[in-house]
Chain A
């Protein structure tokens, strides 16, 4: 279980709000998240299921790349965008 927050920039494309999502790992949590918000998957992960190059996921203030990272009961997960573009 974790509290999940999103970069406000995602709201330009999707209607997503802060929420609490069950899951023991980031992967499980994402699966549950995408079940309720199917379109979100394509914005966070690429078509092969990898985290997009320009999306940063912070778990308890640590930038993670491993989707199997363990989520604690009161974890905070931030889905942010990397500082890139033009």
Chain B
């Protein structure tokens, strides 16, 4: 297996058998890699480089990461002079990257843009129907200054169906490859806005949504205000409340074959954002959220202040091997579906994203 880790200080490639991992390559050392996309069957690897001073850049490899070439980045259209939109129409960050049908690439950006490319990332087009939604004015920044698309889920059965999630701005679905969009956040609740707005779709802060590849009607969400599940392909959501030690967090992973099984990495809500009592734990349900296990074996149980970001919990095809990376540079693996964890490294740079290639 291969693991690609985008960190605050570069890209790390690890190879291993699940329990034992070795860092085999280090690239772009010194620069943040907030997102990456690997297409191993095409030997393609896309790396977002978030150089602090010189902006966001995108590099592509066509030889599985041996060499890279800089390619285009999403470019926003010029904001009309008549516009009173307070949001800058300018790229701050590429927060999500996925591949769709016929080789199309999708990029979610801050502020709030969804871009597509049909030429392997050389050029990008803004999805104007989503950008032009009147409801976009209600979107706002969470941890970042402006809203951003962090989750792009391409339906494994029908790749023209795409679901995207924003912090903060809700969830939107297209069934016609981006021509039209509809919100799909029924049942979600936001406690950080006045009560009258709590159920508005544009006010929701899904930290991360994931779709079960084998059961595409099953979805899990780590929301700012808790955990939600959908069994009707994202049309409606049901809150899962009875989860110890916390329902707050960022990352969620769904079992590739079993939509009732999911893992979360809880933290103290919501400004503090560290493991409850300084004890690192993963929570797991195997019965659709009725009950949760607390998985602690192998994880630090004192003075741990790791936060696991939304793109930093990966699960392999069979649902047994998991990888988890934290803001403190800890990287852990599990080969028994999370029951126990092994440390791979305690001193990597802060981990921003992981991609596990099984």
Residues of A within 8 A of B (CB): 9-10, 12-13, 39, 42-44, 46-48, 50, 52, 54-55, 81-82, 84-86
Q: Is B285 an interface residue (CB 8 A)?
A: no
Q: How far is the CB of B342 from chain A (nearest CB, A)?
A: 30
* A86: B residues at CB distance < 8 A: 52
Decide if B89 is an interface residue (CB 8 Å cutoff). Answer: yes
Beyond A13-B57, A39-B70, A48-B76, whether A84 also contacts B30 by CB under 8 A is no
Asked if B91 lies at the interface with its beta carbon under 8 angstroms from chain A, I say: yes
Taking the complex as formed, is B347 at the interface, i.e. its CB lies under 8 A from any CB of chain A? no
Docked complex Cα distance between A9 and B55 (Å):
13
Question: Given A42-B73, A48-B76, is A13 in contact with B51 using a C-beta cutoff of 8 Å?
Answer: yes
Known: A48-B78, A54-B53, A84-B52. 13 other contacts (CB 8 A): A9-B53, A13-B51, A13-B54, A13-B57, A43-B57, A44-B54, A46-B55, A47-B74, A48-B76, A50-B90, A52-B54, A54-B54, A81-B54
Query: Of B53, B89, B90, which one neighbours A55 at CB under 8 angstroms?
Result: B53
Given contact pairs A12-B30, A13-B57, A47 touches B75 in the complex (Cβ within 8 A): yes
Q: What residues of chain B lie closer than 8 Å to A10, measured between beta carbons? A: 54
Residues of B within 8 A of A9 (CB): 53
Q: Footprint of A on B, CB under 8 Å?
A: 30-31, 51-55, 57, 70, 73-76, 78-79, 88-91
Known A12-B30, A39-B70, A48-B89; contact A81-B76, beta-carbon cutoff 8 A = no
In the complex the two chains form, is A52's CB within 8 Å of B30's CB? no
Query: Judging by beta carbons under 8 Å apart, are B54 and A48 in contact?
Result: no
Residues of A near B70 (CB, < 8 A) are: 39
> In the complex, A58→B312 CA distance in Å?
41
Contact A46 B91 (CB under 8 A): yes
Q: Which of B51, B54, B79, B89 has the most CB of A within 10 A?
A: B54
Q: What residues of B have a CB within 8 angstroms of the CB of A47 in the complex?
A: 73-76, 90-91
A13 CA to B31 CA, complexed, in Å = 10
Q: A82–B57 contact, CB under 8 A? A: no
A85 to B9, CA, bound (A): 12
- Chain B nearest CB from A37 CB (Å) reads 12
For the complex formed, measure the closest distance between the CB of A5 and the CB atoms of chain B, giving whole angstroms.
16
**Across the A-B interface, how many residue pairs have beta carbons closer than 8 Å?**
49
Q: Which chain A residue shows the least CB distance to B75?
A: A47
Partner of A85, one of B52, B74, B78: B52
With both beta carbons as reference points, the residue of chain B lying nearest to A12 in the complex is identified as: B30
Complex Cα spacing A52 to B70, Å: 19
User: By the criterion CB–CB under 8 Å, are B53 and A82 in contact?
Assistant: yes
Contact partners of A39 in chain B: CB under 8 A: 70
* A46, B90: Cα distance in complex, Å: 7
Q: How far is the CA of A52 from the CA of B53 in the complex (A)?
A: 8
Q: Which residue of A lies closest to B92 (CB)?
A: A46
Nearest-CB residue, chain B, relative to A44: B54
Complex: A47 Cα to B109 Cα, angstroms: 13
Once the chains bind, are A55 and B54 in contact (CB under 8 Å)? yes
Cα–Cα distance between A85 and B341 once the two chains are bound (Å): 34
The 4 closest A-B pairs by CB, nearest first: A43-B54, A54-B53, A85-B52, A81-B53
Q: Are A43 and B55 in contact (CB under 8 A)?
A: yes
Given the complex, which residues of A lie within 8 Å of B89, measured CB to CB?
48
With both chains docked as a complex, state the minimum distance between the C-beta of A8 and any C-beta of chain B, in angstroms.
Answer: 13
Whole-angstrom CA separation of A83 from B74 in the bound complex = 26
Give Cα A13–Cα B79 distance, bound, in whole angstroms: 29
Task: Name the A residues within 8 Å of B78 (CB-CB).
Answer: 48
Q: Please give, as numbers and ranges, the residues of chain B lying within 8 Å of A44 by CB-CB distance.
A: 54
Residue of B nearest to A7 (CB): B53
CB B76 to nearest CB in A, in angstroms, measures 6
Interface residue from A42, A82, A84, A85 paired with B55 (Cβ < 8 Å): A42
Contacts of B31 in A (CB 8 A): 12
B79's nearest neighbour on chain A, judged by CB, is A48
Q: Which residues of A contact B54 (CB under 8 A)?
A: 10, 13, 42-44, 52, 54-55, 81
Name which residue of chain B comes closest to A9, CB basis.
Answer: B53
- Contact among A42, A48, A50, A85 with B53 in the assembled complex (CB-CB below 8 Å): A85
Quick one: closest A residue to B74, CB to CB? Answer: A47
Residues of B within 8 A of A54 (CB): 52-54
